[in-house]
Structure 1
Amino acid sequence: MEAFLISTGIVALAEMGDKTQLLALVLAARFKRPWPIVWGILAATLLNHALAGLAGAWIMAAVGPDVMRWVLGVSFIAMALWMLIPDKLDDDNAVPQRRMGVFFITTWAFFLAEMGDKTQIATVALGAQYEPLYAVVLGTTAGMMLANAPVVFFGDAITRQVPIKLVHAIAALIFVMLGVLTLLGVGKSFMA
């Protein structure tokens, strides 16, 4: 349960103001069909984060817990710094122009937008640190859905009410705390 809850919270906070959240807003404004967009976000996130989590678990097995503790600690602190840089979305390249259904456009766009994104990298790190892996993937996916589904349904009204800079600062603080705790070896996942 710990892996699920931590993964959900970290990704939900990291996703606030992220380019994929902006993509959800663009898709909602363009297509005005929320359910296929939400299902597309879910499909893309499950696939992307499952691959990211597997990569994290594989890296952990390959380098071992001692090396990985330092890699993860520094990575979490780097994520904190990255959180303070707001994402922007180029509207011309935000949505594929091919003739596909809303679900497939959303799935394709989200999968690609998530490549190398903060939340994907966080999923790699969480997959390396926490077990079971399915709890991490379900948690990061839940975090993505918590951050993106309301934007699809309520879009513009929400983005005007949420102080994105404050959310980014809180997320950065959480990532710094995770990084420091990881570097100090706090947590059962490094006590092998």
Structure 2
Amino acid sequence: MFYSMWFEAFSVSTGIVALAEIGDKTQLLALLLAARFKKPWPIVGGIFAATVVNHALAGAVGAWLLTLIGPTGLRWGLGLSFLAMACWMLIPDKLDEEDTRLRDGAGVFLATLIAFFLAEMGDKTQIATVMLAAKYPLLWPVVLGTTLGMMLANAPVVWFGERAARFLPTRLVHGIAALLFAALGVLALLGIGMP
């Protein structure tokens, strides 16, 4: 039972975030960092470190919400949040000027870590991590899954550049992610799969 719940939290978190990240502003930032620095290892390392910290914080907020809100409030809150996320997935992302400012004196790893951490604040995938951590009572499979999803979407962009970013049709991928978020929303509103 524990392992199946762990695997479900991990695999759903991985899949949803990997799909949600395609064409996201942080993926565009990964492409910009790769073009600017041309040093994939420290960029991927910075993305990984920023994502682990950011998503661990987001997961902690989600776990806290799980203890704060009663089962009925949680069910409605998650259901409506997942439906809102489904709508948000259909809106294309763009990089803000603030997201692209990098500290000139920082090394590639530190510049990537700071830029990626800040760009991820309030981003779709961070909010999805909060919601997934509130849905699943196991925090670490969610954080590990969302981190893996981010890496699956961003590492190829760093390594292979723009060709990797264009490999998948962004609108189709966002449509699939929106359907998954909508399905999670409906299931949550019906109380199916809730803790």
Q: TM-score, normalised by structure 1?
A: 0.95
Q: Distance in 2 between matches of 1:58 and 1:92?
A: 30
Offset from partner CA, 1:81-117 (integer Å, 9 cap, x none): 0000010114575131331000000000011000000
Contact 1:27 1:95 in 2 (8 A): no
In the other structure, the counterpart of 2:40 is: 34
Contact 1:17 1:164 in 2 (8 A): yes
Q: Distance in 2 between matches of 1:174 and 1:76?
A: 9
Offset from partner CA, 1:11-60 (integer Å, 9 cap, x none): 00000000000000000000000000000000000000000000001011
- Bigger Cα displacement from structure 2, 60-69 vs 134-143: 60-69
Q: Relative to structure 1, is the Cα distance of residues 158 and 184 closer, same or farther in structure 2, using a 3 angstrom cutoff?
A: same
Letter in 1 for 2:171: K
Letter in 1 for 2:89: M
Q: Counterpart of 1:98 in 2: which secondary structure?
A: coil
Contact 1:14 1:119 in 2 (8 A): yes
Query: 1:128, CA displacement in angstroms?
Result: 0.5
Contact 2:16 2:149 in 1 (8 A): yes
Letter in 2 for 1:36: P
Letter in 2 for 1:182: A
Q: Does 1:12 align with 2:34?
A: no
Letter in 1 for 2:56: A
In the other structure, the counterpart of 2:151 is: 145
Contact 1:8 1:141 in 2 (8 A): yes
Contact 2:9 2:138 in 1 (8 A): yes
4+ runs of 1 displaced by more than 3 Å?
90-93
In the other structure, the counterpart of 2:107 is: 101
Query: 1:66, CA displacement in angstroms?
Result: 1.3
Query: 1:62, CA displacement in angstroms?
Result: 0.7
Q: Distance in 1 between matches of 2:97 and 2:32?
A: 8
In the other structure, the counterpart of 2:3 is: none
Unaligned runs of 5+ residues in structure 2 are 1-6
Query: 1:161, CA displacement in angstroms?
Result: 2.6
In the other structure, the counterpart of 2:164 is: 158
Unaligned runs of 5+ residues in structure 1 are none
In the other structure, the counterpart of 1:114 is: 120
User: What RMSD in Å do the two structures reach over aligned CA positions?
Assistant: 1.1
Q: TM-score, normalised by structure 2?
A: 0.94
State which of 167, 170, 191 in structure 1 corresponds to 2:176: 170
Q: Distance in 2 between matches of 1:26 and 1:157?
A: 13
